[in-house]
Amino acid sequence: MDHKVSQQMNDIVGDNVKKLAQVFPAVVKDGEVDFEALKEELGDFQEVGSEKYEFIWSGKQNAKKLAQEDVAGRTLKFIEEKSIDSNKTNNLYIEGENLEVLKLLRQNYYAAAKMIYIDPPYNTGTDFIYRDKDVMKKKDSEFAEGNVDDFGNRFTVNMKSQNRFHANWLTNMYTRLSIAKDILSYDGIIFISIDDNEVFNLKKICDEIFGDDNFMACFPRVTKKAGKTTEAIARNHDYILAYSNENPLIYLPQHTDAGFKYVDKHVNERGKYKLNQTLDYDSLSYSSSLDYPIEIEGETLYPGQSYEKYLERKNGKHARADWAWRWSKDKFDWGYKNDFVVLKKYDGYSRIYTKTYQNCKIIKKGNDFEIEYMKRTKAISSLEFIENEFSNDNSKKNLLHVFDTNVFDYSKPVSLIKKLVQYTTKKEDLIIDFFSGSGTTAQAVMEQNLEDGANRKYILVQAMEECAENSDARKSGYKTINEIGEDRIQRVSKKIKLENPDVDIDTGFKVFRTADTNIKWNSLMDLGQVNINQLEYTPDLVDFMPNTKDVDIVYELMLRQKDVPLSSKVEKIFGGGIHVPTFMRIVTWFALRQRLQKN
């Protein structure tokens, strides 16, 4: 094991500060002594003209300045080879540091997001945060000194032992949330996952940014059933802070008909129903007890529609996650008897679907099953997320249903994000997650669209952060967290299409990456950086960077427009050039005017 030995033998000042903190805890803040507070502890009070309630930390003023600074010389570059169904999708996956990305999106997506969900670093003492102001002249020296990673990201571990531990985290969050407020729609809601380390500080900065009148709730969420046996009190929950922008809208699922379009003889009791899931499923951990023949309406069906594959599985030739039924034989028999099952016949094959009713669900009661009817409520309970359904145990299960191993730690369960999406969005609303991690939000949006027939869209943002050297993710071939997130979305998309061949939902995404600008916004001729003699043959040199593509210019110009989403279809027309909406042609014309005049 590689142990680093410090050259310093004694930290006398640091030891004295710790002693002072033991006697007067209020005077040592983030490892630094507040001498005015120390004077007050010793009875020396200065007359103050006016006092006010205020939350301050070292670096707050710089955080405000940084949030207001424009992002110059940068853009988002379309990565076509990593995108899926780019000509028709409304979803975006952006690779880049989220503060920079939020600034680049702010103009185009101002007040556009109906819901924002983020799961930021909890500031446990081992989390990475970004050094937003650590900009040195030479990237080589940055890398040599450990200030940046292989991809140029400036991040560092925020250690509890260092001064300004809380201040560093607060500065990072303040800048990002300030811009996020501008992107949140006027009737939108932002949800932030957090734990005991910073929940109180986070609420204070959210009160300042969104307004304390717009605080909606601090939901407790169960994280695990049992805590560490070494702890006096097992910490089995964290929190979700919810803030509205101005006029929040909440949708209660049992009060809507979205997706529930079928009616049977039980409609008065159970409400309408929808058919959104087949009974057989290939992403479950394989269990032989769930792999059995079903005789229904004169047919015998097997999971995966193959008798031969069924025999192979029964002989032990099956994958860890393979075809099986979602219900046990007892539950199927009960469900079929009580009209929770439908057989749909296609050309050459049949599939079994389960009914999802508006007002009831199946629950297990001892060794039997029964119907539980949902109570209509007028508000969301503040205890909505204390059920084990929303715990981290299910987060791991979600990932193992998609991957062969647990490739990402501390992800949130799909059920949690789905519930938030369900309560706050509908139709074609936009959901943004700028700490996207393994991509749970994308999966939740797709699955909720599948359930209620809506066409919500998402924007996910994730820095190109490397996976730990000895992690399961690295062993599985993933170098960065982005690769995990993008692969997860692709895998989930394929499963949805395979298991729901009759349903048309958006399972694609466009990939963008932060990059240097394609446009010479300021003339470089006066600086001697453009050779005038070359302009006759290469007029692009006046306005654009070398090797710039037309499509990159169009997307960069789109970023500077209002309500022209990057998901807009951009295509080449016969004879060259870019075919875009009329007003975009006008925008493009102004950007190209110097070149056109010279031609």
pLDDT at 129: 61
The predicted pLDDT at position 189 comes to 95
Q: Judge residue 295's burial from the number of C-beta atoms within 10 Å of its C-beta, 0-12 exposed, 13-18 middle, 19 or more buried.
A: exposed
Q: What pLDDT, on a 0 to 100 scale, did the predictor assign at position 154?
A: 54
At residue 144, the pLDDT reads 38
The span from the first CA to the last CA of the chain, in angstroms, equals 66
Distance, in Å, from the CA atom of 118 to the CA atom of 179, rounded to the nearest integer, reads 14
Task: Give the dihedral of Cα atoms 392, 398, 404, 410; nearest 10 deg.
Answer: -30
> Where are any strands of DSSP class E within 335-462?
341-345, 350-357, 360-365, 368-373, 430-433, 457-462
Q: What is the pLDDT of residue 509?
A: 96
Q: What is the pLDDT of residue 562?
A: 77
**10 Å Cβ neighbour count for 32?**
13
How confident is the model over 25-49, as pLDDT tens digits?
A: 777 876 778 887 788 778 776 766 6
Write down the pTM of the prediction.
0.69
What is the spatial distance between Cα 393 and Cα 43, in angstroms, rounded to a whole number?
Answer: 52
Domain boundaries, the chain: 65-252+377-513, 267-373, 517-598
Q: What is the H or E stretch that residue 188 is in?
A: strand 184-194
Contact 561, 587 (CB under 8 A): yes
Q: With beta carbons less than 8 A apart as the criterion, state whether 93 and 460 touch.
A: yes
Q: Does domain 65-252+377-513 have CATH number 3.40.50.12780?
A: no
Give the residues of the chain that fall short of pLDDT 70. Answer: 1-12, 30, 45, 47-53, 125-163, 226-230, 252-258, 283-284, 375-378, 521-543, 571-599
Q: For residue 18, what pLDDT is reported?
A: 80
What pLDDT sits at residue 590? Answer: 45
CA 50/CA 307 separation, integer angstroms: 82
Q: Exposed, middle or buried: residue 42 (CB in 10 Å: 0-12, 13-18, 19+)?
A: exposed
pLDDT, residue 56, reads 83
pLDDT of amino acid 319: 86
* The pLDDT value given to residue 284: 63
What's the confidence (pLDDT) of residue 292?
Answer: 96
Strands 92-95 and 457-462: parallel
Residue 393 token pair: 């145990």
